[in-house]
Amino acid sequence: MTISVPKSLNALNSAVLTEMGQFIDTVDCKRFRCMIITGDGEKSFVAGADISEMSTLDPAGGMAFGRRGADVFRKIETLPIPVIAAVGGYALGGGCELALACDIRICSDNAKFGQPEVGLGIIPGFSGTMRLPRVVGMGMAKQLIYSAETIKADEALRIGLVNAIVSREQLMEEALRIANRIAANAPIAVAAAKRCINAEFDLDADKGIDFENKEFGQCFATNDQKEGMKAFLQKGKYEYRGE
């Protein structure tokens, strides 16, 4: 999925968010095993939410706009297949939150991240206050959100906000490399692993272990598990079919 709003550096307005949600709803997770989200152009992944639209909103409108973005990002977070954010250039505000909703984040060496909302009299409204602490830790998340500072790619890597930095020219190549590596594995097991990892943020330890245990056991009902392990033991290869 490529976000292309060149006049605003791919800023997210209501129309773009609606289109993103509709696109995600059409993704055939039985056919495709990984999804990559990126932004069009050299300068920006997503520069943020559309300030020109937000500036006209009242509290009810602000809540509706925030809910629209949060719901779309939740669809990304809970999509059965892994989602990779390929971040080139600016990932600010809603753009940073979009990257946080993805499973894996890689960025170009010119990428810049930040949550500048408090400098505009608002807070991160697309679940940034929830996801950022989970990724970089409570203290660092508070610093980034409270200060509204923008950080470069090397600092994003240091704090664990991104998995890797590559050149702008290599960004999609690296995203595809990771996607293909994921796609080579058993899709039912990958989906189960994603559900478990997500669930364990919302459940206490005992419930998380129980949830993981159930998903683990159900993997053994799949043909992929049987044939995959058989091929491993026989030192061969098996092309997973999602069965």
Apex 190 CA angle, 104 and 88, nearest 5: 20
What token pair was written down for 134?
A: 């989970």
174 in active site: no
**Token match 């499973």: residue?**
103
Instruction: Determine which one of 53, 77, 97, 174 is catalytic.
Output: 97
42 in active site: no
Question: Using CA atoms, how far apart are residues 161 and 117, in angstroms rounded to an integer?
Answer: 18
Instruction: Determine which one of 42, 77, 117, 173 is catalytic.
Output: 117
Question: Using CA atoms, how far apart are residues 54 and 9, in angstroms rounded to an integer?
Answer: 16
**Token match 């796609």: residue?**
183
Direct distance between the N- and C-terminal alpha carbons of the chain, in angstroms, rounded to an integer: 26
Question: Using CA atoms, how far apart are residues 205 and 228, in angstroms rounded to an integer?
Answer: 30
Q: Active-site residues: which are they?
A: 97, 117
